[in-house]
Structure 1
Amino acid sequence: MIEVKHLNKTFDGHNALTDISVQFPKDQTTVIVGPSGSGKSTLLRSLNFLERPESGIYQFDSDEIDLSQPISNKTILSIRRRTEMVFQGYNLFPHLSVLQNVMEGPIQVQKVKKAAAQQAAIDLLGKVGLAEKASVYPSQLSGGQAQRVAIARSLAMHPEYIFLDEPTSALDPELELEVLKVLLQIASEKQSMIIVTHNMAFAQQVANKIVFIEDGHVLYDGGSDAFFETDNQRIKDFISAMTFSNI
């Protein structure tokens, strides 16, 4: 399990995250929601050390990291080898085919033999509905297809956790649905995921747990059903604003 305790992060004197303590259970999907600029992505990126909090404790199973102390590159690399990050912008290698993009990490980082990596990549492309795109290049893909390749590439590394930062925010609704269906399937297979999303309907379907952040503070940390049925007026207002349920 991943857990952060009393995590604090500032940007230019502004408190982006204040005294954040959250657990992210294994074999579950935790969804982080909140208004724009609330600190959602900062929290997610802190879990992969793309952001460096000034204080707090980061615990990954039995490994405990004091964030107020210098953190070695070895420690950061050990966390990144156990996790994968999927961004809004896909970040595929443009000079490699779709198949090669999915194979690259296992071959270069994990030293998997090419034949085994190729077969695993073919299987994963089938899983995300893109087997027929194996030989094409990223420039020939739609945004939804490119994001599904990025997800397959992450799965190829067999991470303990996948972090997804607004994975569909750049897509139109039809392409977004393609990606969300894949993520729902992956969640059903108990892949540990932490997702930042603006899509409340998707969050309600995929999340085992919801973390609601506003102004760098956790206002809710608990089950998905309780979140969407809450009597908390601030959360009700947020859900209404995001789903047009008040129109």
Structure 2
Amino acid sequence: MLRLKNVTKTFGTQTALKDITTAFNDHETTVLVGPSGSGKSTLLRSLNLLERPESGTYDCDGIELDFAKKITKKETLAVRQKTEMVFQDYNLFPHLTVLKNVMEGPVHVLKEDKQTAKKRALELLDKVGLKQKADAYPNQLSGGQAQRVAIARSLAMRPRYILLDEPTSALDPELELEVLKVLLELANEKQSLIIVTHNLEFARHVADKILFIEDGQINFSGSKDDFFNSNDLRIKEFISAMTLDNLN
């Protein structure tokens, strides 16, 4: 389990996270929703220590950190071995084939032998429907294919949690669907996922838990059914705006 307690993060005079306390359960999919600039990505990136809050505590599956104190390189590495990030711009190595992109972390970080890493990489590429692209380079892939390779690369590191920051925001709807199907399959397999997304229809399908974040605060934490059936006026307004219910 990942636990944050009384976490605050600022950028200059702006408070991005205000005294956040929440937990993310193992083998569940938690979806973070809210308006742009609300703090969703900052919260997600804090779980991987890409952002460092100024105060509060973080229990990352037994690794206990106090953000008010210096976090060592050893602690950072330990957290990142449990929490793999998938970014909206893929971050694949352009000079490596798809297969070698997926093998890179296991070989150089986890110290797996190359044959074991290759076998696992091919299995994961097959899982995301891209085994036939093993020898291709990133510039030969569509955006949806590149994002699926990025997901396979994260899975290859055997993390407890995969963190996804707007993983389909740069894709057109058809390519987005390719990626969402892979994520839904992972959710059904009970891989622990934490996803920032604006796609509420996807959230409705995939989430075990939803956090609604606005102005750096968690204004809702609960099941997707409770979220989508909420009588809270602000939540109803947000859902209507995001799903174009009030377009007419």
Q: TM-score, normalised by structure 2?
A: 0.98
Shift of 1:74: 1.1
State the match for 2:120 in structure 1: 120
> For 1:148-171, what per-residue CA distance to the aligned partner results, in whole angstroms no more than 9, with x for missing partners?
000000000110000000000000
Following superposition of structure 1 onto structure 2, how do residues 98-137 of structure 1 map, counting pairs within 5 Å?
98-137=98-137
> For 1:175-215, what per-residue CA distance to the aligned partner results, in whole angstroms no more than 9, with x for missing partners?
00000000000111110010000100001110000000001
After TM superposition, the structure 1 stretch with the greater mean CA deviation from structure 2, 59-68 or 96-105, is 59-68
State the match for 1:31 in structure 2: 31
State the match for 1:195 in structure 2: 195
- Tell me which amino acid in the other structure corresponds to 1:197: T
Shift of 1:61: 2.8
Following superposition of structure 1 onto structure 2, how do residues 21-100 of structure 1 map, counting pairs within 5 Å?
21-100=21-100
- Tell me which amino acid in the other structure corresponds to 1:207: A
- Tell me which amino acid in the other structure corresponds to 1:159: P
Shift of 1:63: 2.4
Shift of 1:62: 2.6
Q: What SS does the corresponding residue of 1:105 show, helix, strand or coil?
A: helix
**Please, what is the CA RMSD of the aligned residues?**
0.7
Shift of 1:143: 0.2
- Tell me which amino acid in the other structure corresponds to 1:112: E
- Tell me which amino acid in the other structure corresponds to 2:211: V
- Tell me which amino acid in the other structure corresponds to 2:40: K
* Mapped contact 2:47–2:83 kept (Cα < 8 A): no
> For 1:4-46, what per-residue CA distance to the aligned partner results, in whole angstroms no more than 9, with x for missing partners?
0110000011111101111100000000000000000000001
After TM superposition, the structure 1 stretch with the greater mean CA deviation from structure 2, 116-125 or 58-67, is 58-67
For 2:140 and 2:195, locate their aligned partners in 1 and report how far apart those are by CA, in whole Å: 27
For 1:62 and 1:135, locate their aligned partners in 2 and report how far apart those are by CA, in whole Å: 39
State the match for 2:236 in structure 1: 236
For 1:62 and 1:73, locate their aligned partners in 2 and report how far apart those are by CA, in whole Å: 17
State the match for 2:160 in structure 1: 160
For 1:226 and 1:62, locate their aligned partners in 2 and report how far apart those are by CA, in whole Å: 30
- Tell me which amino acid in the other structure corresponds to 2:56: G
Q: What SS does the corresponding residue of 1:170 show, helix, strand or coil?
A: coil
Q: What SS does the corresponding residue of 1:30 show, helix, strand or coil?
A: strand
Identity rate, percent: 64
Shift of 1:71: 1.1
Shift of 1:246: 2.2
Runs of at least 4 residues of structure 1 off by over 4 A? none
Q: What SS does the corresponding residue of 2:71 show, helix, strand or coil?
A: coil
> For 1:53-103, what per-residue CA distance to the aligned partner results, in whole angstroms no more than 9, with x for missing partners?
000010123322111111111111110011100001100011110011111
Q: What SS does the corresponding residue of 1:81 show, helix, strand or coil?
A: helix
Q: TM-score, normalised by structure 1?
A: 0.99
- Tell me which amino acid in the other structure corresponds to 2:172: D
- Tell me which amino acid in the other structure corresponds to 2:74: K
For 1:177 and 1:81, locate their aligned partners in 2 and report how far apart those are by CA, in whole Å: 28
For 2:106 and 2:63, locate their aligned partners in 1 and report how far apart those are by CA, in whole Å: 24
Structure 2 unaligned blocks of 5 or more: none
Structure 1 unaligned blocks of 5 or more: none
Q: Does 1:144 align with 2:144?
A: yes
Q: What SS does the corresponding residue of 2:171 show, helix, strand or coil?
A: coil
- Tell me which amino acid in the other structure corresponds to 1:236: K
